[in-house]
Structure 1
Amino acid sequence: MTAFVLVPGAHTGGWVWEEVAGRLRESGAGAYPATLTGMGGPGDPAGAGTGLETHIDDLVRLIDGLDAPRVVLVGHCYGIHPALGAAGRRPERISRIVHLDTGIPRDGDPPLALVPDGTVRERLSRADGQDGGDGGDGGGLLPPPSPDGWRRWGSTAGVPEEALERLARLAAPQPADTLTQPLRLAESVSRIPATGVLCTANGPGIAAVEAMVGLGDPRFPALTDPRVDFFELATGHWPMLSAPGELAAVLLRAAAGEGHRIPPPQDERSAHLRPFVLDVPEARRERTRRVDLHLPEADGPRPAVVFVHGGPVPPEARPTPRDWPAFTGYARYAASLGAVGATVDHRLHDIADYGRAAEDVREAVRLVRADPRVDGNRIALWFFSGGGLLSAHWLAAPPPWLRCLAATYPLLAPPPGWPVDASRFHPATALRTAGRLPVVLTRVELELPELAVSIQDFLTAAERCEAAVEVIDVPGGHHGFETVDHTEPARRAVDRAMRSVLGHLRN
């Protein structure tokens, strides 16, 4: 018999797993929802010094008390940290670790590194130093979110109102040290089979993970290990409340090793490093700090297009985005048609880096406009993929020299739970004050679901405010189609988008 140890996320106890545990038991499996120290509600306060190690000890004791040959540890959100810590102490007992809508902690990371709610650090600073007999020597207690605040921890899509009410009512204060103590990962954990369950209403699905594998992030090649597999659930961050039956079925399949496996790339070149869809001539290129200028054969100041890559892109990635074939291809094509093409390396290395990346883009634009070969009053900005969120600043208050804004397979609204300031990085909202700024939007037919939703929301907002948005579709196109789909529709889409952007610069 397989025994499932179900580890809850922050502020919650074993009660959050009740329906899932019942479904697992009906199937003949064992189910053991864990309530970690201090997380049982008002009658179970955290004692002095309660931290991550305390919660790891809780799980080790629970595992030691089980009479089952196969133990599957399921960690939701924060719960993956004590789950991994316990697995490192009892690797011979664990047959699989399930990451339920949570990230991949690294050795030495505190759980806070993966907490999505950007307000948590502020709340922790207020909790720090509280004693009151609860946090004691180990720091304070982090109060649970307000009833409305749960949405900042992750999408509540699909959760019935009564379940949301119960979530808010039964939530317990979280001992601050459980979030700030570093996780120490034993090397043996890497040999235990693992499953990722991705909740697609809250973030990326399997296709997005496959795309990230090729970017050079040292965390992602391990995801092609044959011991690692994946499932998707079309729901939000709380599948035990929104889809308990579906989650129980997925956990049973995970225990049997039935998930989707990501194969290593077949082409020695990652998708983003394959040739550009158009054969464009070389252009003279000059590099200044984070910016490359691809210069046309022309006299006098010329209009310029600044190409802003997506991400996150790991800092170790080589080559860096301004040398990727798609961006050099677009920039050289712009130069061949008489405009300056500028490619930029900005520091969007993590989803928490949008503020820093936005400043890099603003600095790049200043540098481009100041170049004497550029007509600083005729500039277009062109955003790609995850860089789409960076367009919000320019849509909200377009400067007079910005003649056009383009976006290709863009992310146009931050996914639920991302540590992104939605007041600064929400293009669909910013569009309301964009006036008649021309927007050229290229979308692909086979888009990643999480991006497709944001694009549709953007177009709905554009209709409401009568924004000047031109849509260019790529039939059969994939995300990153310029180096993936060498098809006639792909070539036509690149050409049409470029000529539309340059037309707005010349008018």
Structure 2
Amino acid sequence: MTVFVLVPGWFTGAWVWQETAARLAGAGAEARPVALTGMDGADRSEGGDGIGGGDGIDLEAHIADVLAVIDAVDAVDAGAGREIVLVGHDYGIHPALGAAARRAGRVARVVHLDAAPARDGVPALAALPDPALREELAGAAAPGTLPPPGRAEWPRWGSTAGVPDAALDRLTARAAPQPLGTLLQPLRLPPAVTAPPATGVLCTGNGAGIGMLQLQVDFGDPALGALAKARVPFFELPTGHWPMLSCPAELAGVLLRAAAGEGHRLAPFDAARPPAHLRPFPLDVPERAGERSGHVDLYPPDADGPRPAVLFVPGGPLPAGARPGPRDWPVFQGYARYAAGQGVVGAVVEHRLHGVADYPVAADDVAAAVAAVRADPRVDPDRVALWFFSGGGPLTADWLGAPPPWLRCLAASYPILAPLPNWGLSGDRFRPAEAVAGAGGLPVVLTRVGRELPEIAATVEAFRAAARASGAALEVVDVPGGHHGFETLDPARARPAVRHAMRAVLGHLTG
């Protein structure tokens, strides 16, 4: 028999697992939710509205709570050969990993349930989705507590997609203040201890799914590359951050499969097989070298006089130092050369979007690249188009909200058009669906793929709805059956779609 030791996340207690535990038991497994010190039996009227209490409650106290449950399993008939699977939800992965390290060989598997990576020497504070709150709490001192969210504040901590109203009311009523010591004390994992096998469960309504992880592996992300080499299995649940409340039956099924070692394995990077972004551009375009200056490569046409320009903005986030960089990818060189072959200046910017916190830096890089392109004497500064790709989509918001008169067209191909919930990007910036109301008559050309990653497709449809509501001049180029990054993955479908989109953009530049 498998014993699932279920470790709750921030603000919650053992009660949050009630429905999932019942379904695991119904399937013949045993489920033991962990009551974390200071987190169970709390009431919002008892210290939930201010910083206070939490004395002596730190990460080690919660690790001890998990150890007590593991030891209680072993105390019954010496464990009777029962296999223990630890499940940690968001913050809960920290005490789960700490306990697994102290009971080496006793824990068969650790399941990371919609949990950010936990690393030795790093406190759980680093996993908080809100960067402003991380910065605020970094200077705090334990003891003390972090008040639980109000009903409308839960999305700051993870998407509530799929959670019924009654369950959200229960979550709000039973949420407990989080002791600051549990967030500020670093996790310590003995280096000599062999970690048990791991499984990841991704809630796609809250952030990235398996497809996006595979893209990051192909881009050279070292942490995900290590998981791919280790053959760590993953599952997806099409729900928000609280699957024990939104889909407990489906979660129980995934946990049972995880205990059996099932799941999707990421494909390791294979230098002998070029990843999609390094495959050839689908159209035959004239060979021409780009002129590199700072963060911008320029591809001028064989034409006299100032010409219109298209600045291509790659996506991300991409690992810092990944090589080749986007300016050297065939797809962006191909687009820029294609533009030059049509008599306009093609340009590619390489920005510094290495993590979701880097969007402001990347936005500055794009603005600087625009200024550099418009200042080139071969460019007509009053006829410029911007073309964004994939994770560069949130950067469109700066240009949609108040388009300058020289911006004749904005294009976006398979873009992410809203920050994903677990990115923790607060504020009104980088939200194209909100910014498009200010686009006025700016032509927007959106290339949409039929087999988009679900978490990205949801942002595209929200943007289209907002564009329709505001009367924006939106033209959609559909690629039925096309994948994210379709130019090199689906060359037959790509050729007509790329031509269509380029004609639309150039028509607004030269018409």
Fold similarity call, TM over 0.5: yes
Task: Give 4+ residue runs of structure 1 displaced > 6 Å after superposition.
Answer: none
Cα–Cα, structure 1 residues 185 and 335, in superposed 2: closer, same or farther, change >3 Å?
Answer: farther
SS at match of 1:65: helix
Alpha-carbon distance in structure 1 between the residues aligned to 2:194 and 2:383: 53
Which residue of 1 is the match for residue 282 of structure 2?
A: 277
Q: Confirm or deny: 8 A CA contact 2:128 2:134 kept in the other structure.
A: no
Alpha-carbon distance in structure 2 between the residues aligned to 1:323 and 1:184: 41
Which residue of 2 is the match for residue 382 of structure 1?
A: 387
SS at match of 2:368: helix
Alpha-carbon distance in structure 2 between the residues aligned to 1:399 and 1:140: 49
Alpha-carbon distance in structure 2 between the residues aligned to 1:480 and 1:292: 21
Alpha-carbon distance in structure 1 between the residues aligned to 2:123 and 2:349: 32
CA deviation vs aligned residue, 1:197-240 (integer Å, no higher than 9, x gap): 11121122222222221110111112324651111111111000
- The one-letter code of the counterpart of 1:150 is W
Which residue of 2 is the match for residue 212 of structure 1?
A: 216
- The one-letter code of the counterpart of 1:473 is D
Tell me how far 1:186 sits from its aligned partner.
3.8
Among 298, 301, 304, the residue aligned to 1:293: 298
Alpha-carbon distance in structure 1 between the residues aligned to 2:369 and 2:24: 55
Q: Confirm or deny: 8 A CA contact 2:57 2:182 kept in the other structure.
A: yes
Which residue of 2 is the match for residue 133 of structure 1?
A: none
Q: Give the TM-score of the pair, scaled to structure 2.
A: 0.93
Alpha-carbon distance in structure 2 between the residues aligned to 1:2 and 1:189: 23
Which moved further from structure 2: 219-228 or 208-217? 219-228
Which moved further from structure 2: 338-347 or 390-399? 338-347
Tell me how far 1:491 sits from its aligned partner.
0.7
Q: Confirm or deny: 8 A CA contact 1:283 1:296 kept in the other structure.
A: no
Q: Does 1:15 align with 2:18?
A: no
Tell me how far 1:360 sits from its aligned partner.
1.4
Structure 1 unpaired stretches of 5+: 130-137
Please show how residues 251-400 of structure 1 align to structure 2 within 5 Å. 251-265=255-269, 268-400=273-405
Q: Confirm or deny: 8 A CA contact 1:123 1:142 kept in the other structure.
A: no
SS at match of 1:392: helix
Tell me how far 1:181 sits from its aligned partner.
2.6
Which residue of 2 is the match for residue 135 of structure 1?
A: none
Alpha-carbon distance in structure 2 between the residues aligned to 1:269 and 1:227: 20
Alpha-carbon distance in structure 1 between the residues aligned to 2:483 and 2:162: 28
- The one-letter code of the counterpart of 2:63 is I
SS at match of 2:105: helix
Tell me how far 1:467 sits from its aligned partner.
1.1
- The one-letter code of the counterpart of 1:13 is G
Percent identity for Structure 1 against Structure 2:
62
CA deviation vs aligned residue, 1:366-418 (integer Å, no higher than 9, x gap): 12112222211111111101110110110000001111000000011122232
Tell me how far 1:99 sits from its aligned partner.
0.8
Tell me how far 1:264 sits from its aligned partner.
2.9
Q: Does 1:6 align with 2:6?
A: yes
Tell me how far 1:113 sits from its aligned partner.
2.1
Alpha-carbon distance in structure 2 between the residues aligned to 1:350 and 1:236: 22
Tell me how far 1:46 sits from its aligned partner.
5.5
Which residue of 1 is the match for residue 235 of structure 2?
A: 231
Alpha-carbon distance in structure 1 between the residues aligned to 2:232 and 2:133: 31
SS at match of 1:148: helix
Q: Confirm or deny: 8 A CA contact 2:130 2:426 kept in the other structure.
A: no
- The one-letter code of the counterpart of 1:199 is C
Which residue of 1 is the match for residue 460 of structure 2?
A: 455
Alpha-carbon distance in structure 1 between the residues aligned to 2:102 and 2:165: 39
Among 78, 82, 90, the residue aligned to 1:77: 90
SS at match of 1:476: strand
Tell me how far 1:191 sits from its aligned partner.
4.5
SS at match of 1:91: coil
Structure 2 unpaired stretches of 5+: none
Q: Over aligned residues, Cα RMSD in angstroms?
A: 2.0
Q: Confirm or deny: 8 A CA contact 2:225 2:269 kept in the other structure.
A: no
Alpha-carbon distance in structure 1 between the residues aligned to 2:287 and 2:181: 56
Among 129, 137, 142, the residue aligned to 1:116: 129
CA deviation vs aligned residue, 1:148-204 (integer Å, no higher than 9, x gap): 100121111111112111111111111223223322334467652211111121122
Cα–Cα, structure 1 residues 243 and 189, in superposed 2: closer, same or farther, change >3 Å?
Answer: farther
Which residue of 2 is the match for residue 62 of structure 1?
A: 69
Q: Confirm or deny: 8 A CA contact 1:51 1:178 kept in the other structure.
A: yes
Alpha-carbon distance in structure 2 between the residues aligned to 1:106 and 1:334: 45
CA deviation vs aligned residue, 1:276-299 (integer Å, no higher than 9, x gap): 111211224222221111222222
Cα–Cα, structure 1 residues 188 and 9, in superposed 2: closer, same or farther, change >3 Å?
Answer: farther
